[in-house]
Structure 1
């Protein structure tokens, strides 16, 4: 089987000026796109389905999405232009009890509130996931009959999706929904200097001490050995109920509370965490809109409204929104920055800790440790976030800079997808470093040669100096003996 190329859409994609000259003959309207997710995609399922719907509406794409059913899978809208193929797996095929009898993946939400936040049993699902996906001959035959032009693969924990795209002989464009760092991005040839870029899941700040840089460098070396769409979405009008609530806040505005979608379970959140936030919210002059479970709150303050679901992007884009309490997933963080809303970051798992520390370093957020939450800490942090002008000014400045981007995310996605579908191999844009070992990549061989040359030169210089000093000393000694003989 011939190896087909892959292409990654990073979070901050910039297109070289040369590419428009090539895309004119690439696949155009009617491009058949296959979207492939891991066993549990979380919010990425909604993101890529929304992208698929916009590509269908604006560029004439025919989009099929393959997803796996979980206990948190959202229903597919009846009017969606994306065809969704929903799959299940047998619970006996997986370890750790992460699949129920109906074949649904069970999101381990309670596990995320422990200090060890990544369940080891999840790794054991990768093998059975691939066997089930690639072993279904009817699925493979069905997908081959569609004659797709290109695959859009959600890269996070989705080796199986990449294998399926290879089995279908499709050029692949990757979606990376987290920080662009860590072992998964090593094959993309992206350069992340360990002195300035904390690697994935390290929990390190953007400005590191020597010990932190040492730890980060060790993890980067380990990553190499083991080895985004991004864009603004304009806010839409809110429902009448939400709009009335937002307007009732008056001059003080609204604080939005939402801990995302991926692996979030309101019933798994510790009670002391809930009580601390509700108590802190009750002391604010602002109104608070919480996406949470009202059943978990014994007494809801008069200024707090709790809903099971809300249009997060639209609320962040509302002029009454003053602050955002978030888990700091990459999607939520980018939506807040795009709309100029400062954040109180409460990271829970994976890349959220590095995201929170980076945003805090930039003055766009205040980060708090979820294991050291108290009412007084939250109240102080929220008051500082709401009434310190620098937070609002910096987030608005970042939003204004973002709004200057002349290219829309959908246009950029359509461009790369059509380019990959039309030309397949995009070798002219590959970095020429695939042949290098890690020692060569970091110029350790060059450093070694230079070091040997410098040491050799230094030793030679010392030897010459020693010879000269000895000759001079011998000459002085000879002259002294001659003088004594003459006398």
Structure 2
């Protein structure tokens, strides 16, 4: 017994050492964007996956939402600061932009953009200027910083805390085109449309002209806006010689929420990793009330309707259009809606303030998904093989809808002009045309057939950065080149000069030879 007891004790000590040193977690810092609630969900999903791997995850959030975040993610640590309500104001402005997008003028959009930019500047200044919080963050010595590049405050924070710490961006679209200018990736403007356009990779001549003009002017405007918003903060908290462009260009990895099953293939850099649909998890059983509603649908099935977290309510006119179209269907309808319920709501419609969207789309009775074509919902529908009716609003949604149509996954309607008949006919068209369901099922199989899930891939790369530090070998030299070198204008000027000199030399030589010949011939004629 003594020998067995001693052996057991040694084994116990060994296991304790293995747990302590073999699976030691690292400190990870998450920096969410101050606007757009849906962006936090994605970042939090990545953080939760890192927690499950034994890492200690801390998120930087304003004081007024700290309790909400703690309730959502009890496994996280949180560092808080007083943002003077800038985050709430920014979210409110974003919501108004999306809810009233059809009523706002160009001037209204420009003014809203400037207002949001001013709020972001103030928000970031309050975050970076919180001396006590910065001292605590520096004391922890984080192994990696992960941020949402929609608002690149995470890059500034990383440079401010410790230049040796790798930082990683998660993005789908970028307000400032940093995913283009800070990676050096070449743009194929003839076949790679801007994600905000409802173009495909088969563009017409006019669409290609629009694409080229946009990518010529928009990055310049975005660069001006980014400089005015962030350069002062960079000079104040990082270095007088740095700019927001130079700071973001040092990003080690870009975890991009794209996948070639849905998105159009294009060039990429080694530090750009595709993780489209990383938020999708296993399907859970529905709550009893919803499951009962689903079962009552019989073989006709259920249609899921959701316009995401941004659109809180519809106008009364549009609400009546949707309600009238759904009332004509044999299918049951589960509709995520927050606001005043319409009059005469038919029995086949269930309106809820929140939906377990992934679980609903993964249910075998779900037939169609009606969506604003936000990337999260589109990827969930792709994963589960559910055809879509897209009514895009803004941002990347028109491009997402164009991709859905191009892949044969669904149809697109104009939310600002849609009628009851158009919506009803679109739904019936999807329900009765087997090609949409067959395409959805085929693309779902392709999407799922990966050696790693998108989340596993994201976590692997984050841990790769934790293990090896700054991944400078993956960053293209292109991001450090002056524009005239990147476009080889200096080489072109040199070759033009050489060619001009050579042509000039040949021309002068020929001229002199011809002149000499003519002179000799003229002299002979005179002598005769």
TM-score, normalised to structure 1, is 0.79
| Residue of structure 1 in register with 2:409 after alignment | 364
Instruction: Report which of the two has the higher share of helix.
Output: 2
The answer to whether the Cα contact below 8 Å between 1:134 and 1:140 also exists between their aligned partners in 2 is yes
The 4+ residue runs of structure 1 with deviation greater than 6 A are 69-73, 444-462
The answer to whether the Cα contact below 8 Å between 1:55 and 1:61 also exists between their aligned partners in 2 is yes
Q: State the shift of 1:318 in Å.
A: 0.7
| Residue of structure 1 in register with 2:311 after alignment | 264
Rate the CA distance shift 1:135–1:305 in 2: closer, same or farther, 3 A.
Answer: same
Rate the CA distance shift 1:441–1:51 in 2: closer, same or farther, 3 A.
Answer: same
Could you tell me which of 175, 184, 208 is aligned with 2:170?
175
Q: State the shift of 1:150 in Å.
A: 0.5
Q: State the shift of 1:78 in Å.
A: 6.4
Note if 1:147 corresponds to 2:141.
yes
Note if 1:396 corresponds to 2:382.
no
Q: Which runs of 5+ in 2 are unaligned?
A: 1-21, 224-244, 246-255, 257-274, 508-528
> Could you say what secondary structure the match of 1:379 adopts?
helix
Rate the CA distance shift 1:245–1:435 in 2: closer, same or farther, 3 A.
Answer: same
Note if 1:31 corresponds to 2:29.
no
Note if 1:192 corresponds to 2:192.
no
Instruction: Quote the Cα distance in structure 1 between the aligned partners of 2:184 and 2:347.
Output: 53
The answer to whether the Cα contact below 8 Å between 1:182 and 1:199 also exists between their aligned partners in 2 is no
Instruction: Quote the Cα distance in structure 2 between the aligned partners of 1:386 and 1:448.
Output: 60
Matches within 5 A, 1:286-365: 286-293=331-338, 295-365=340-410
Structure having greater relative contact order (Cα 8 Å, sep ≥ 6): 1
Note if 1:213 corresponds to 2:261.
no
| Residue of structure 2 in register with 1:19 after alignment | none
Instruction: Quote the Cα distance in structure 2 between the aligned partners of 1:217 and 1:201.
Output: 14
Instruction: Quote the Cα distance in structure 1 between the aligned partners of 2:378 and 2:199.
Output: 18
> Could you say what secondary structure the match of 2:35 adopts?
coil
Q: State the shift of 1:143 in Å.
A: 1.3
The answer to whether the Cα contact below 8 Å between 2:149 and 2:171 also exists between their aligned partners in 1 is yes
Q: State the shift of 1:29 in Å.
A: 3.8
Matches within 5 A, 1:454-465: none
Q: State the shift of 1:153 in Å.
A: 0.5
Could you tell me which of 55, 78, 101 is aligned with 1:114?
101
Q: Which runs of 5+ in 1 are unaligned?
A: 1-26, 463-487
The answer to whether the Cα contact below 8 Å between 2:361 and 2:386 also exists between their aligned partners in 1 is yes
Q: State the shift of 1:147 in Å.
A: 1.9
CA RMSD of aligned residues (A): 3.6
Query: Could you report, residue by residue, the CA deviation over 1:368-396 in whole angstroms, capped at 9, with x for unpaired residues?
Result: 11111110110111111111111111111
Aligned residues: 433
Matches within 5 A, 1:399-478: 399-438=444-483, 441=486
Rate the CA distance shift 1:343–1:201 in 2: closer, same or farther, 3 A.
Answer: same
Instruction: Quote the Cα distance in structure 2 between the aligned partners of 1:185 and 1:324.
Output: 32
> Could you say what secondary structure the match of 1:77 adopts?
helix
Rate the CA distance shift 1:440–1:356 in 2: closer, same or farther, 3 A.
Answer: farther
Q: State the shift of 1:402 in Å.
A: 1.1
Rate the CA distance shift 1:333–1:451 in 2: closer, same or farther, 3 A.
Answer: farther
| Residue of structure 2 in register with 1:249 after alignment | 297
Deviates more, 1:134-143 or 1:28-37: 28-37
Query: Could you report, residue by residue, the CA deviation over 1:262-316 in whole angstroms, capped at 9, with x for unpaired residues?
Result: x3212xx211111111111111111100011363321211111111111111111
Instruction: Quote the Cα distance in structure 2 between the aligned partners of 1:410 and 1:423.
Output: 20
